[in-house]
Structure 1
Amino acid sequence: MSSGLAHSVPPLQINAKCCSRCGKDFHLFRSKKNCYNCGSMVCESCSEFKVKLPQFGYNHEVRCCSHCAHFLKVFKMDYAALSKLNIKTLRGYLRSYNIPTQGMLEKQDLIQAIQSYKPIPEASEVYFRQHLPSTPAKSSSLLEELTGLGRSESPSGSSDGSSSSNTGEGFLNDIDRFFSRLFGSEDQQSSSSPQANRPRPQTQPQPRPQPPPGASYRPPPGNPPPRAQTRASQQRNVPPQQPPRPSTMPNTPLTPNTPASSWSQTSQSPTQPKLTLEELLASRTDPSTLSIKVIKGLLDDSCVTYVGVVEKKDLVERLQKLIDNTKAEKAMLQEQEALSALGSNKPAESSKSSNSKHDDDNLCKICCDAALNCVMLNCNHMSTCMDCGKLILEGSRMCPICREYVVKLLHVFRA
C-alpha cells in the first residue's frame, strides 16, 4: 500500500466474537473475515461481495460486507441507473455520508449531488465508518447452528458479487428494500429512544412568604406581577410587551466539494412571478425544463388532476397533453370562425344548418365563444368552458344544467 493516499485506510478489527452484520458467533465452521471498506469483522456469508478499492490502496478485489456492498453499488451507478432508484434511497445514501440535502426536492438534484461527490471526501468516509449499524442480537445458539449446517444459509443483507446481478429491476429493487429497511429501523429507534421519551423534570412551585398575623401582605418592590401588568395595559388600551423573537437564519453547511447549483440557492432566491399557460405557449418553453412546483401550479390553474402521479416525467406528459389540447382548441375555434365567415357569404340553408349545429355541439353554453372542456363534479355535466366554469365556481357554485352544487372542476381533453 502506498503512503501517499488521500484517504486514511480503515483499521481492520481483530478481536470480535460475533459477526458485525448477522450477529452469529464465530466457531470452527464459521471463519472470521474482514470488510476492507469499513474494517468490521464479519463472517464469510456476509462478505461475499468483492470489489476494488483504489482509494484505500487495494487495486485488487477484496472482501466487503453486505452493508458496504449496497453503498458501493450505488457509487458505481451512472445517471440512468440512479434515476430508477427511489428518492428515499438517494437521500439515505447522501445521509449516510453526511452530505447536505437541504433544498433538494427533485430527484435530479439528489443525483447531481451524488455525482458531484465522486470520489467521496475523506470526512464523509470517516463519518460513514463511525455511524455503522449496531451488531444485531444473536438469533440462534451454537447447537442449533450445528444441526442446521446442511441447510442453505442466506443471511439477510448479503449481496452477491456476480456482475450479472447488477442489472435489471431485481437488482434495483434489492437496493431500494435495503435502504428502506436501514433508515426505517433508524427512524423507529430514534423515535423510541429513552432520551426522546424521557419525562421532563417537574418544577415544584415555591411557597410564597406568609405575612405575620395582623399585617397585610405587600408585594416586593420592583416590576409588578404579570397579571397586574396585563390589567394595567388593558385599562390603558396598550398591548402587553412581548419578548422579541430571535431571527432564524438558514443553517446550510458549507463543504469544499459542494456544487454551485440551483438547489443550494433555493432558500435565498426571491419569489418568482407565477407562470401562466398563455405565457408558456407564447414562449414555447420545453415543459421538461420546468420544476415540479411550476408544473403542478400550471395543472392546478387549468383544473387538471394529477392524483397518483409521483414521477416528474408523468407530470411533464400531463402538462404536454394540456398544451396540445389548448393548441387544438384554438385551432378549432379559428377554423369555426373561418367556416362561419364563409357560410355568411353563401346563403345555402344546408350549410347554415350544419355550421350552426357544429357550433352548438362544441361551444360553451354560456359564452358561446370558447370550446367545451370543463366537467362539473359531482353531476358530471359538460356544458361550459374552463373560464366560465371558474366564474361559476367562484360565484353560485351551481351547475347551469341541473342546478346541483359544484364540488370541483375537471379539465377534459378532446381526441
Structure 2
Amino acid sequence: MPRIGVYNGFDPVDVCSYCIEVLKVTAMGRASLRAMPLTHLKAYLSAYGLRGPSHAVEKEDYVRAVLDARQSNGCLPRVNEDYYRRHSIPQPTGERPKGFLARMAESFSDFVDSLPQPDLSSHAPPPPPLPPRQTAPRPPPRTTANRPPPSMPPRPQATPGPSNSRPAPQPTQSNPPRQSNPPPPPPSTQRPTPQPLPIDNLLTMKPEELSALSIGVLKAILQHHHVRIPQDALEKRDLVDRVATLVEAARAEKEREARARAAEEEAELEAQRQALEEIERKKKAAAQKDDTGASEGQASQEEIPVAVPKAAAHAAAKLERDGLCVICQDEDANIAIVDCGHLCLCLGCSELVMQSSKECPLCRTRIVTSQRLLRIFKT
C-alpha cells in the first residue's frame, strides 16, 4: 500500500486470498490486462463500482477504463475501495472462501444457465399411448333370504374358460424408429507406384511407343536413372524428350561398349597369334642350335626382345579410356554426386553404394538420398 505522509514508496500489508486477486488486477500493466479474459475485466469494474465504457467495441476500451480509474500512485480512489468493501466482499460462511474472480465466473455461468433454452419438444419422440383401463364387473347384490349351508367351493380348473380369463394389461411401448447408420465408406485404394521399364526394353521401343507411356512411368524412368526433371516441365512432351535423350545415350554407350569389346577380342586374337609365332620361332631356333651347335647365337636370339606389331599397339591404345567408374573400372562414370561434385560412378555401382555405405568412394562425403545423384550425358 502507498505510504501516507512525506515518505514515498509502499509498505507491505496483509491481504486475504480473496482480495489478492483484484489487487493483482489493480497492479497489472496494459499488456497483462490485455491478456485477461473480458469477463474478468467486467467483473473487476463491477466490483469497484467503476463505470464501464458505454459503447465498447473492442477489449481495449475496457483496458483503458481500468487504467483511467487509477490515481497517480497506482491505486483506485477511496470511494471505489469503500464500495468494494460494502458490496463485493461476501459474508463469512463455514466453507472456504473462494476468490473473487472465481465467484464472478460462477455467477456468469449461472447467468448463462438462466438464459432461455431452445424448445426441444418438437424434436422429442411422442409419448407412448396409455393402455385402456379395464373395470372389474360389479358383484351381484346380496339377498337376505334363507340360504342353504355353504358347500365346499369347487377347485379351480387348470384351464379356465375364456369367460373367466381376464387378460393382464400390458403397456404398449412405442419404440421410435432407429435411424440406420450409413454404411462405412469403402477403404481408399492406393494406386500402385509405377515401376520403371528396363533400359533394354526402352532401347527396342520406337519414339511413338515412348510417347504412349504414362507420365508416372516416364517420371519413374527418369528418377531411376537419376535424370533431373526440370521445374518448368509442364507438358508430357518435356518428359518424353528427356527419356528419348536417355535412350539415345544408352544406345550410344551400348555401341561404344560393343566396339571396345570387339577391339579387345581382336587384340586377344592378335596376342594369341603372336604367341604361336613365338613358339614356332623358338622351335626353329632350337632346331638350328642342334644343327650348328653355336651357343652364342642361341643366347643372342633369347635376348632379342619381341617387337609388338603396330596393329596390336594401336588396338591397345584404343582401350586406354579415361573416366571409368572408380569401383568396377569397367563402365563409364556417368553418375555425379551433387554434394561433392565427383563424377566417379556408373549406374550399377551407384545403386550398390546407396544400398551399403552411402558415401562418395573418393572423398567419403555422405549421400543423404538418391536424389543427390545426377546423371551426366557425355557428348
Which range, TM-score by smaller chain? Answer: 0.3 to 0.5
Could you tell me the TM-score, scaled by structure 2's length?
Answer: 0.37
Higher RCO (CA 8 Å, separation ≥ 6 residues): 1
Could you tell me the TM-score, scaled by structure 1's length?
Answer: 0.34
- The structure carrying a bigger strand percent of its residues is 1
Larger C-alpha radius of gyration, 1 or 2? Answer: 2
